[in-house]
Structure 1
Amino acid sequence: MPVAGELTHFNAQGQAHMVNVGDKAETKRIATAQGDIRMLPDTLRLIEEGSHKKGDVLGIARIAAIMAAKKTSDLIPLCHPLPLTAVNVEFTIDRVKSTVRCAVTCETFGRTGIEMEALTAVQVGLLTIYDMCKAVDKGMVMTDVRLIEKIGGKSGHWTTGAISTLPLV
């Protein structure tokens, strides 16, 4: 077992390896991540009104985020494939800041954490918004992607205490 503060994806020789989780107990694991995309007010209005010529931007971004959570181990080299039991994607519009917040909660019952799935889903959800709106706003900025909370496993419950209280769209 690694000592506190050690990186677990390196062996004693300093070589990258996939962590052996075979002896860990299976527990319910939940992780929530979020991030924002800032855009021009006119771009936000197109998304909010559903009048973007490419269609339902947030609906497509929701599906993309779910797909990304399911494919995380294909994208992150040493990430274990996990059987997801739930993926919840929520978008919040902040007209004052001209942003869309993507919050993703992933759940599994397994031997390793699910943080990477939630973080990957947020990034892909935001990238999908960018992709669908880049024709009208190339200057969009994705910011503040971070883990908000994780529950389960040996390390227990962790939270930033910064879960958004913005109304959901």
Structure 2
Amino acid sequence: MKYIIADDEPLARARIMRLLKAWPHYECVAEVSSGDDVESAIIENPVQLLFLDINMPGLDGIKTAEMLNQKYRDLKIIFITAHSEFALEAFNVFAAGFLVKPVSQSDLFSLLERLFKPRIQYQVGAQIRWVDVDEVIVAKAEDKLTQIYFQGGEATIDLSLKKVAQPLP
């Protein structure tokens, strides 16, 4: 999952990236320090997720989110701020989440798991299907294949168990 961080504090940006290193399938594709630079970063690097500070020089986070919501309907915006009093205003511009600085790893992971449930892809004939990780009862390695048993069925995946589990938290 590709994401952008918009925060005028370099240490705050570095903290988010450091916390997300525990989830290797998250990749920071751009960092910006002003709301004025967010849209050009999104155009250059289409993403599903934006971490957005509220109080920044130039265009603030709330105005940036209002503008982005008009153009990028699938973009999930998570506000990161030291000012918890902005929470209501953030949700009024359809924020997917709100984290107070300093962001804790547990709060960040809980929010991301809620927004982007980890899933495993498998194939039945020519049809691709997905199962939520929390529905998996057992995953068993069989040579270079993985057999998963989940609520409502089972599937064989043409990957090793190590490769299936690698991108999961």
Shared topology, TM-score over 0.5? no
Q: Which of structures 1 and 2 has the bigger CA Rg?
A: 2
TM-score, with length taken from structure 1:
0.23
Higher helix proportion: 2
TM-score, with length taken from structure 2:
0.23
Higher strand proportion: 2
Q: Which has the higher contact order (CA 8 A, sep 6+)?
A: 1
